[in-house]
Amino acid sequence: AQSVTQLDSQVPVFEEAPVELRCNYSSSVSVYLFWYVQYPNQGLQLLLKYLSGSTLVKGINGFEAEFNKSQTSFHLRKPSVHISDTAEYFCAVSEDYGGSQGNLIFGKGTKLSVKP
Amino acid sequence: NAGVTQTPKFRILKIGQSMTLQCAQDMNHNYMYWYRQDPGMGLKLIYYSVGAGITDKGEVPNGYNVSRSTTEDFPLRLELAAPSQTSVYFCASSYSNRLTGGYEQYFGPGTRLTVT
């Protein structure tokens, strides 16, 4: 069965520093990968997704993620964070059943706290 | 477009009471979902629907019921509220084509439910 592990529950970082939020998954078939962001008291918003092709995916707000099939990882990065990036970030995976798509499985989330 | 809307935003229930959480989308998406979010646990799928008249259980369906009579609406029913159902509930929708995958889900703002 598929699963998603976000290795850090909380990541504190200073403003303008780089950040990496780690995500590993397990699955016996091909997968689609997503990162969502949740600002306080709001719903989830898509940051970026990997479907196929280039393993480096760029998203909104300067975030990017790299799909590494051999390490079954999909880590999220930003070279310079802002106070406004303070939020909870969720990695999610769904399995590819030869074109159709399984339900999303979410990690437990990583709270990014950007300090001035 | 309003996207995905949810009502109410907040609700306090007494044990044993019942209520319906409303969800509507105006994007003509065929798939709709209900999740619950508990602190540190990510999102868990309660029920989902692949189209009007078709629903299926997710990971944590016990204590909940759903119906889907129209494309736009997907209400979630709690029949006998229990303290374990205290959570934040999110509705989401997506467009899925069985020939291709990689769809993203669009989330509503959530309903915060407390059962005492």
Interface residue A22 vs chain B (CB under 8 A):
no
Structure tokens at B112: 């915060």
Q: Which of B96, B107, B112 is the best residue to mutate to test the A interface, defined by the most A CB atoms within 10 Å of its own CB?
A: B107
Q: Is the pLDDT of residue A30 over 70?
A: yes
Can you give the pLDDT at residue A28? 85
Structure tokens at B114: 């407390």
Residues A35, A48 contacting (CB under 8 angstroms): yes
Q: What is the percent of chain A where pLDDT is above 90?
A: 77
Distance to chain B for A42, nearest Cα, Å: 5
Q: What is the percent of chain A where pLDDT is above 70?
A: 96
Distance to chain A for B114, nearest Cα, Å: 15
Nearest CA in chain B to A99: B100
pLDDT digits (tens, 9 = 90+) for B24-39: 999 999 999 999 999 8
Count of C-beta atoms within a 10 Å radius of residue A43: 20
Residue A75 pLDDT class (50, 70, 90 cuts): very high
Can you give the pLDDT at residue B86? 97
Segment A3-26 mean pLDDT: 96
Whether B101 sits inside 8 A of A94 (CB atoms) is: yes
Q: Is the pLDDT of residue A47 over 60?
A: yes
Q: Which of B9, B43, B46, B89 is the best residue to mutate to test the A interface, defined by the most A CB atoms within 10 Å of its own CB?
A: B43
**Interatomic CA distance for residues B85 and B19, integer angstroms:** 12
A5 chain-B contacts, CB cut-off 8 A = none
Segment B78-106 mean pLDDT: 85
Instruction: Of B1-5, B16-20, B110-114, give the lowest mean pLDDT range.
Output: B1-5
Residue A57 pLDDT class (50, 70, 90 cuts): very high
Can you give the pLDDT at residue A2? 81
Chain A / chain B CB contacts < 8 angstroms: 61
Can you give the pLDDT at residue B2? 84
Structure tokens at B48: 């989902």
Chain-wide mean pLDDT for chain B? 92
Judge residue B15's burial from the number of C-beta atoms within 10 Å of its C-beta, 0-12 exposed, 13-18 middle, 19 or more buried: exposed
Write out residues 71-90 of A within 8 Å (CB-CB) of B.
Answer: 90
Q: Is the pLDDT of residue A109 over 90?
A: yes
Higher pLDDT, B100 or B87: B87
